[in-house]
Amino acid sequence: MNEFRLPDLGEGMQEAEVRRWLIKPGDSVKLDQPMVEVETDKAVVEIPSPIAGRVADIRVAEGQVAKLGEVLVIFESADSSATTASRPSNGATRQDGAADPTKAAPAQSASAPVASTMTKQRVLAAPAVRKRAFELGIDLADVPASQPNGRVTLDDVLAYAERAKQAAASPAPREKAAGPAAPPEPAPAQPAAPAPAAQPERQPLTGLRRRIAEHMERSWRTVPHATAFDELDGSELVALRQALRATAQQRGARLTYMPLLVKLLIPALKEFPVFNASFDEEQRAIVYKKDYHIGIATDSPEGLMVTVLRNADQLTLLQIAAQLEHLIEGAQKRSLSLQEVSGSTFTLNNVGSFGGSSGTPIINYPEVAILAVGRLQEKAVVRNGAIVARTMMPLALSFDHRVIDGALAGRFLARFKELVEHPQQLMLDMI
């Protein structure tokens, strides 16, 4: 028997929840066939089958959590399949060695391809490439590799599929369409049964919802939160976005306020580096990060996710806009990679995009601060002794009080306000 154990999926993963099995005991699977979906605290990952063969047993049920290195599934080995097939018997052998009279013994011709396929050398290719090849019905061994080390890329697979499509025979003639079917006879009406008494529904926390709960509990228990509130005049921000929208559309980008806010946030983080840090619990030390990976609180069908805009300080405004669109779409489909949902150094939460005017954010552990911006709305404010209408934006900065004091938080917010209220000074870096 061949055991397949939960592999290391990166980012310090120690366990994963089995979200959905795509195979079942007794199935014959192909090499690289999608086998199981597992969910870490960061992402949903689809694991392909490492071999071709027959599934003997599944050891971790859907909804259960497996530890790193724990056996997930057992396959019949090539040797055991060949031995079983060559031994005359009137029943299939169960795992306890007894004959099972309800199952006929597999013929040798059925098990021979399994043994030969399992011994075939595995082609070098990324999991996404393997999945696409399987969906297209393509054997990776038939695809010419473009890389010097023999690795097959997604472009190689798509080019092979296109060549096969062009070489395929002409499609079969269309069949004559059948006439319209007669409408079914209506079922006789049945008297309605009395409605049962309503019972409360109990739903266990699973998947992303459970990960969110665990993450929030850890952050709230570990970090002494404090929050500073303020508001800024967003009139110039609104005017800047309006002036740049047409240019962005011509270049194929949809310009929202978030790319502008991210771009304006970076100088504040560079001037106050402790806000782009984390706190090492064991060493009791502040870890200053040199990269600027901005976490973006993103809504998904299963709950709030923190997607990551990596190296935001090195991106143009339009690159940030395009990347944010990709992250939002990936969060909706739960298709983002681990790198796109982990490793953030500071988190920005636009509660205004969810319809909220303001809120108190919880720090995305192990970061030391998180900034929430609310909905832009017109308010009556006093300017030079006169009451005028201005477009205002509320701010809420939660910070780790072990690392950051209230005075420093106030200065950080003041600098961010200055940048947003006078965004033209960054025009040279934005486009």
- Which residues belong to the active site? 401
CA distances from 21 to 31, 49, 129, 151, 413 (A): 16, 12, 20, 28, 48
Please give the torsion angle defined by the CA atoms of residues 360, 364, 365 and 368, in that order, rounded to the nearest 10 degrees: -70
Q: Token digits for 177?
A: 């369409």
Find out whether the peptide bond into 366 is cis, omega within 30 degrees of 0.
yes
CA distances from 180 to 139, 174, 183, 185 (A): 42, 18, 9, 15
